[in-house]
Amino acid sequence: MVVGEVAMETDVVVIGGGPGGYAAAIRLGQLGLSVVLIEKDSLGGVCLNRGCIPSKALIHSAAEFHKLGNLAKLGIELPEGNAAFRMPKWQAWKESVVSQLQAGVGRLCEANGVTVVKGSATFLSQDRISVETGGDFETYKFRQAIVATGSRPYLPPFVERDGEIILDSTDALNLQKVPETLAIIGGGYIGMELGMAFAKLGSQVTILETANDILPQTAQSLTQEVKKQSKKLGMTVKTEAMVQAVAIVEGRALLDIRTGRQGEREQLTAEKVLVTIGRVPNTGEIGLAQAGVQTDERGYILVDQACRTNVPHMYAIGDVTLGPALAHRAAKQGIVAAEVIAGLPSRVDSPYVPYVIFTEPQIAGVGLTKEEAEQQGYRVKAAAFPYRANGRALATDEKEGFAEVIVDEQSHLLLGMHIVGADASNLIGEGVLALELAARVEDVALIVHPHPTLSEVWLEAAEAVLGHAIHMLNKA
């Protein structure tokens, strides 16, 4: 960079074009502020390009392929011969989906007056930032800044990713062939989602989880159906399994494992190894120290409800802040930060951030689980309605799962709504709205739900709490 170079001026710079960053930039443009959005790769960030969207595309395709084996009982007979899943064709379809969404984000940015700059950003001070664009440098002077640089997969020191045999989630979604054997280090939501998808496509999948159960951040009462389905898919799940080392021997991965409380040694050979044991924030190489922005010992930026850092005119959103690494949380934070910068009274003040796990079956929830509510001192009433008692679920052969409603016994205020089963990812929207509006269980029970639909599981669960469910026996 040339000393004395003239800096281009803007009201706000946003660093990172993922779901949080581009939402912030677009909202800033709507509010009449000049904004520069800096993205070193592609608009949409990890979520659109290498995470949420590609993984759900794979999960959907795997589910559709897996259903072929169950069509005969529905009266559908396929021509003789084995159906095949062609990974290269799926890759082309995935790329078409990603490209369409990327283009849409780009058009929205342009339409809202957002200047998009492709390059790597580094803060020079509290009001200047340098952007390296293909070997050249541009400098921007800003009044406000939003850091939205996201996160990356964490790789432990004993694993050296090569992108061919030892993979992270991005590598797995770029495979051109379904592996015959796949070992997954980490039984959290990413490991279980991708593991079940590859198992449906024919891989022999082994899950290695250090905790005493899969999906350790999720209530065990909600994971039982997933464990049943993993067995049906032929997956091997090893809990209390600590991977000590991974080596490549004759073109395959050799894993050294300690299992159980006694630490018994095992070895496992697999064609591919996928590492999914967490993510780390991308805050180490953007010059936060020059800007005076403080981070904790793990690199997370501390923010208040306005997403403001310790530097009053600088904000941080998404995976670089403490909290669940969820795209919808990042987008909400981005909109809040933009509105606060514009002088609006906006805050991230709701505890009702839903979670969705795209396993088989899906798991989704919002608010407290029964166990959490009891730990917080509530006297709890709860009821669960099974999918197998729902007409739509039976008609579509999706009968595994249940919907659960957790209620304060005295006030009947809804404390949590959780669902395991087909389309849980969409059905949880009703729960989020109900809790956000401080609804009582009677409010859900009084709503006329359309029939026959899966949404009726909420109606029946709410009525069961009140003791008058129609399609299940009520507890005395």
| Catalytically active residues, by annotation | 451
For residue 188 the two structure tokens come to 């959290």
Residue 1: CA atoms inside 13 Å, Cβ hemisphere, count?
18
d(CA 352, CA 439): 13
Interhelix angle 189-200/52-67, rounded to 10 degrees, is: 40
The CA-based dihedral angle spanning residues 100, 104, 106, 110, taken in that order and rounded to the nearest 10 degrees: 150
Q: Is 99 helix (H, G, I), strand (E, B) or coil?
A: helix
CB count in 10 Å sphere of residue 142: 24
Q: Let me know: does 462 contact 472? Beta carbons within 8 Å.
A: no
Report in angstroms the alpha-carbon separations of 55 from 103, 198, 357, 437, 464. Answer: 19, 11, 12, 32, 36
**Is the dihedral angle over the CA atoms 207, 213, 218, 224 positive or is it negative?**
positive
Q: Let me know: does 388 contact 399? Beta carbons within 8 Å.
A: yes
What letter would DSSP give residue 38?
Answer: E
DSSP per-residue letters across 112-126: TTEEEEESEEEE-SS
**H or E element: which one contains 401?**
none
CB count in 10 Å sphere of residue 469: 20
Place of tokens 């403490």: 322
Q: Which residues of 3-37 are buried (b: 16+ CB within 10 A; e: fewer)?
A: eeeeeeebbbbbbbbbbbbbbbbbbbbbbebbbbb
- Alpha carbon distance, N-terminus to C-terminus of the chain: 76
Report in angstroms the alpha-carbon separations of 69 from 38, 75, 122, 231. Answer: 47, 12, 53, 17
Q: Let me know: does 315 contact 322? Beta carbons within 8 Å.
A: no
Q: Which residues of 362-382 are buried (b: 16+ CB within 10 A; e: fewer)?
A: bbbbbbbbbeebeeeebebbb
